[in-house]
Amino acid sequence: MPHRVVITGMGALSPLGLTVQDTWRAALAGESGIAPLESFDAAGLEVRFGGEVRGFDPSQFLDRREVRRTDRFIQLAIAAADEAMRDAGLAKGDYDPDRTGVSCGTGIGGIQTLTEQHQILLERGPERVSPLFIPMMIANMAAAQVAIRYDMRGPNMTTVTACASSAHALGEAFRRIQYGEADLMLAGGAEAVLLPLCFAGFINMKALSQRNDDPASASRPFDLDRDGFVMGEGSGMLVFEERERAIARGAHIYAEVVGYGMTADAYHIVEPAPDGDGAARAMRAALRDGGLPPESVGYINAHATATPKGDIGEANAVRSVFGAHSKNLAVSSTKSMTGHLLGAAGAVEAIFTALALYESTLPPTINLHRLDPEIDLDCVPNEARHAEVEVALTNSFGFGGQNVTLALRRADA
């Protein structure tokens, strides 16, 4: 029999706050974490706002030398991992290191280090490039550094699948426990890409919202007037634990992970399949994996980034999978408040989904004033809602057409 997997700890840093509780409180209040950029002078860019993690001090988690030797995405991952471990009531010695692992996703990795060191190369020559450039930049170093910090010697992996990265990381962590390869996994993702180069790339793709005059209302999933996504940064980490082990140690359980589906559109490098076929197949796969009838699902935390084509494709997928039951579903996009955290989005949104089940409260889609008639779903507009939900899905879709759906069940369901 496959092992059952539960969530016993969570940590997050997002544009809404520096902890899970701060992020969740702000989300339920319908607050926006989107504001003019402060981390660099964006005056020369067409888009001058984003979802920054404000007030983060890496020296609260790392000594001065470690701060100098780690990229921001690694620092965010470590901070979220620390919160998740504290929340789970775990420390070194509380687990078998050989049966404990780390699974972490990132879409881009240490691009801040890459841009800084490239500038040093151009201005000062190759001999001035840091000998730590490579281990600061490469994508697997968040998982590696977390494992070193907590002496976790079991399965260790990094997933790099654009905006689906941390959702894949969670799914693979789920599988490691389900298949008996580990007892405990620290899983999630981190992203830190709010840099001129990244903005320039997305701006020239025409992918970003242009609402410089009103950043807080720029991220408008499902709205008829949406004009692109808002780029953000952050990290989410979750403790996944074998259920019997968690119960035996008296762990606090937020939700059970019951299904994992992943597919490819095999359609286009950036555009989703317009009929939502790949997304639909991912949702069906997660339901099948969890032995869940479609009618058991009460809430979906949508990928919905506020792009014109993407939101419609996901709505088409929901209607395809759930048919008449789609009228009974609540489908919200928390990216309306956080912006799009790229490779970290799936993990942070899994936290939102677990808390929606645990607290019987659905986070809203803010900035939703005119629902696109092609979407025609209950998108929980503008205000959080009390709802007793037993099963929820969270969707994450990445450039290249890589799709992930995770199915969570209320812990006492």
Question: Tell me: the pLDDT tens digits for 13-71?
Answer: 999 999 999 999 999 999 999 999 999 999 999 999 999 999 999 999 999 999 999 99
Q: Which two tokens stand for residue 98?
A: 């050989």
Shared domain for 166 and 113, answered yes or no, is yes
3 catalytic, yes or no? no
| In contact, 224 and 334? CB cutoff 8 Å | no
Shared domain for 90 and 233, answered yes or no, is yes
With respect to residue 93, please indicate whether it lies within any of the assigned structural domains.
yes
Shared domain for 292 and 224, answered yes or no, is no
Shared domain for 20 and 115, answered yes or no, is yes
Residue 412 binned pLDDT confidence (cut-offs 50, 70, 90): confident
Cα distance between residue 67 and residue 113, in whole Å: 12
| In contact, 189 and 165? CB cutoff 8 Å | yes
Shared domain for 221 and 359, answered yes or no, is no
Final residue of a structural domain among 218, 248, 278: 248
With respect to residue 253, please indicate whether it lies within any of the assigned structural domains.
no
pLDDT at 216: 98
Final residue of a structural domain among 193, 217, 248: 248
Shared domain for 244 and 373, answered yes or no, is no
Final residue of a structural domain among 220, 248, 276: 248
Shared domain for 211 and 178, answered yes or no, is yes
**Active-site position among 3, 168, 198, 303:** 303
Shared domain for 229 and 276, answered yes or no, is no
With respect to residue 38, please indicate whether it lies within any of the assigned structural domains.
yes
Residue 274 binned pLDDT confidence (cut-offs 50, 70, 90): confident
For residue 84, the enclosing domain spans 5-248
Residue 371 buriedness (CB in 10 A; 0-12 / 13-18 / 19+): middle
* CATH code of the domain covering residue 352: 3.40.47.10
pLDDT at 260: 98
303 catalytic, yes or no? yes
**Active-site position among 104, 168, 198, 340:** 340
Strand partners of residue 299: 330, 392
Neighbouring CB atoms inside 10 A of 59's CB total: 10
List pLDDT tens digits, range 219-251.
999 999 999 999 999 999 999 999 999 999 999
pTM passes above 0.85 = yes
Shared domain for 217 and 270, answered yes or no, is no
| In contact, 339 and 232? CB cutoff 8 Å | yes
**Mean pLDDT value across residues 376-389:** 98
**Mean pLDDT value across residues 264-287:** 96
325 catalytic, yes or no? no
Chain-centroid distance, C-alpha 94? 27
* Domain count within the chain: 2
Shared domain for 302 and 363, answered yes or no, is yes
Shared domain for 154 and 236, answered yes or no, is yes
Residue 413 binned pLDDT confidence (cut-offs 50, 70, 90): low
**Active-site position among 163, 168, 198, 379:** 163
List pLDDT tens digits, range 321-356.
999 999 999 999 999 999 999 999 999 999 999 999
With respect to residue 366, please indicate whether it lies within any of the assigned structural domains.
yes
